[in-house]
Chains A and B, each alone.
Chain A
Amino acid sequence: MTVRYIDEFRDRKLAETLSRAIHAEADSGRSYRLMEFCGGHTHAIFRYGILDLLPANVTMVHGPGCPVCVLPIGRLDQAIQLARDHGVMLCTYGDLLRVPGVERATLLKARAGGADVRMVYSSLDALALARAHPDRQVVFFAIGFETTTPATAVALLQAKAERFRNFTVHCNHVLTPAAISGLLASAREAETRGEPGLAVDGFVGPAHVSAVIGSRPFERFAAEHATPVVIAGFEPLDVMQAILMLVRQLNDGRAEVENEYTRVVCRDGNRKAQALMDQVFQLRPSFDWRGLGALPASALGIRDDFADFDAEKRFTLSAPDVADSKACACASILRGVKKPTDCRIFATACTPDTPIGACMVSSEGACAAYYTYGRYRDAAPVAG
């Protein structure tokens, strides 16, 4: 197997050129606080050490765009209920497996206790398992932003067309624009309480999400909040280029949606994928987000036409209402008001092995990425 174009977007020389341009153009008299919404960007920033290439007054705020991180504990508990109490074959994506839920239960622990939990790379792998095991109830625990939603739609359409009796989906798909709106609304609320609101001057917009929904949905934010957005790919050079574009917009006093990721994203997005989603899913009136609370119209449920394939309808599941830990500063970290190191349980009680807050649960979460890749930046100077 040969995978091409791995190095082209990670070229050091180009990175140095971009770094010099950002240093030259960033006005030393002001600060540039930029939020990357997506966990994929957070991951790239830390994995490639992008922060080391930025001037001190250009800082990155790590947003809530990690689907695993923002999944409320109550929903995760339903996955564990399905696997443990209903005897289903529960299929889901990899990094959800070790996320702790009620009383630190995880899907991996449920598996160790005898539950049938399978890691899949695709919704269609779950469908294939249902086909191969007609005697078992197979549930695909669907999670993700608009990136993974069309694939779940395809699985549901196939299941309906082939009249599967043993395949259902537990739907946890959430919507990016709603999350950004929610973030801005919570910032305004904080301001009315006299607390710091949103410490963000510009957004690095989502990559793969935008491939599906296009750049158009972000135009409203840019206009309403007078905040620039640059859609960027997940490669480190994409992120650097987007940062430069944001610095330029802020210098010019512009607040536009620009698209750095033109090789994949267009203004209208992927209309076929959008149609698939629309066919299968409908807006939920409200949905809980770990770290952000209940956000209106921020998630998708399965349409009544597909009710036979909705795990929430087929199985009786309790919905424990689990509050976020009070010690955890996720809400402020997600707004950019606090850094992970400002949280008193960061790297003490809350670590990637023992996550407490939303930001620590997946490797893409702001705190986990900071813990894994970035701690050395704030470490005390090396003793002689």
Chain B
Amino acid sequence: MDLGRKAFPRALDLKSGRIELGHGAGGRTMTQLIEELFESRFANPFLAQRHDAASFPVTDGRMVVSTDGFVISPLFFPGGDIGSLAVHGTVNDVAMAGARPLYLTCGMILEEGFPLADLARICASMADAAAAAGVCIVAGDTKVVERGKGDGVFITTTGIGIVPDGVAIAADRARPGDAVLLSGTLGDHGVAVLSRREGLSFATDLVSDSAPLHTLVADMVAAVPDIHVLRDATRGGFAAVLNEIARESGVGITVREDAIPVAAAVRGACELLGLDPLYVANEGKLVAFCPASDAERLLAVMQAHPLGRESAIVGTCTDDPHRFVQMQTSFGGNRIIDWIAGEQLPRIC
């Protein structure tokens, strides 16, 4: 009998098993969960070192690091799940520095009773997303909290990437006269998630736009190294990005409603739910600021990429000491696009 090879008498029950407190307690149960569920799916040489800290070679250039927690409900939604989202979200944050993402770490907080089948599905989705994005999950951590003290699973990922020489993308570099470009339709992710939320479910063909944007960014940076600002329009939507950059860079921004792409299904849902697509979250859309003279070239590169086909030049930065973000409405007037006050809540009438 080969006791060394068969460390666990029975394989994890991925069909009807559930997370128990022991899965986070540091014993054999936890080791089995890590080996059979995580390592088998995330397999790479760095993870295989099985050290407390993964080690990897340092290359020339500037490194960037970003971290993000994922607490989405529902865990599975049209176009993705918390696993793919945890990869895309952090890959995108790293990419917004103009960097090539290389490594991810993954912390999981699991709730006692969470079905192993769902966890396996989430891990497979993470592994697929990481492979597709060309990043390795090099380190991880697993904790289990008592039933009722979590919401199934929370995931935190940290990403590390390398910025090519000559790229200096930063939030404070937008200048009056800069063009504002948007990589596609607004609100797909937020509305797809809402459509599956308890008490609100409605029928839609809409899927989340969750996607890794680093190859789009790589094409953009190669064509226009002097991109001033990049930011993905996640929580708070497009409106939040515009206000953040106006504030950081000390500029005003004027966008044209006509130029901003919004899918018909998103417009319809927002009409019914009393929401404004400008404030709805995206997980696969970025906003770029570049000198006006580079705008057409940047647009062409973005539109040539599969994740940027519907890109558009949507506005310009202005010299405005008030740092107001304004929109020329399709109707022919102007309005301010302010920060969202708290959470976006539907109006009564």
Instruction: List A residues at the B interface (Cβ < 8 Å).
Output: 1-3, 6, 10, 12, 15-16, 19, 38-40, 43, 46-53, 66-68, 93-98, 108, 119-121, 125, 143-145, 147-148, 208, 236, 352-353, 362-364, 371-376, 379-380, 382-384
Which B315-349 residues have C-beta < 8 A from chain A?
318-322, 324, 326, 328-336, 338, 341-343, 345-349
Please, which residues of chain B bring their CB within 8 A of the CB of A6?
Answer: 267-268, 271
Please, which residues of chain A bring their CB within 8 A of the CB of B264?
Answer: 2
B274 at the interface (CB under 8 A from A): yes
- 8 Å CB contact of A94 from B252, B330, B334, B346: B346
B344: nearest residue on chain A (CB-CB)? A94
A96: nearest residue on chain B (CB-CB)? B348
- 8 Å CB contact of B267 from A3, A93, A376: A3
Please, which residues of chain B bring their CB within 8 A of the CB of A93?
Answer: 346, 348
Instruction: List B residues at the A interface (Cβ < 8 Å).
Output: 199-200, 202-204, 252, 264-265, 267-269, 271-274, 318-322, 324, 326, 328-336, 338, 341-343, 345-349
- Asked if residues A121 and B200 are in contact (CB atoms below 8 Å), the reply is yes
- Asked if residues A68 and B348 are in contact (CB atoms below 8 Å), the reply is yes
Listed residue (B203, B269, B274) with the most chain A CB atoms within 10 angstroms of its CB: B274
Please, which residues of chain A bring their CB within 8 A of the CB of B347?
Answer: 39-40, 43, 94-95, 362-364
B199: nearest residue on chain A (CB-CB)? A125
Kindly count the residue-residue contacts between A and B in the assembled complex, taking CB atoms under 8 Å apart.
132
- Asked if residues A98 and B341 are in contact (CB atoms below 8 Å), the reply is yes
Interface of B is mostly: loop
- Asked if residues A374 and B336 are in contact (CB atoms below 8 Å), the reply is yes
- Asked if residues A49 and B331 are in contact (CB atoms below 8 Å), the reply is yes
B226 CB to closest chain A CB (Å) equals 25
A222 CB to closest chain B CB (Å) equals 23
- Asked if residues B332 and A12 are in contact (CB atoms below 8 Å), the reply is yes
Please, which residues of chain A bring their CB within 8 A of the CB of B272?
Answer: 1, 3
Q: A52-B333, A53-B333 are in contact. Are A376 and B349 (CB under 8 A)?
A: no
- Asked if residues B348 and A47 are in contact (CB atoms below 8 Å), the reply is no
- Asked if residues B319 and A49 are in contact (CB atoms below 8 Å), the reply is no
A355: nearest residue on chain B (CB-CB)? B341
Bound CA–CA A50/B346 (angstroms): 22
- 8 Å CB contact of A98 from B267, B332, B342: B342
Q: A19-B332, A98-B341, A382-B319 are in contact. Are A148 and B348 (CB under 8 A)?
A: yes
Please, which residues of chain A bring their CB within 8 A of the CB of B199?
Answer: 120, 125
B338: nearest residue on chain A (CB-CB)? A372
Across the A-B interface, the 5 shortest Cβ-Cβ residue pairs? A49-B333, A3-B268, A94-B345, A52-B333, A352-B341
- 8 Å CB contact of B321 from A40, A371, A375, A382: A382
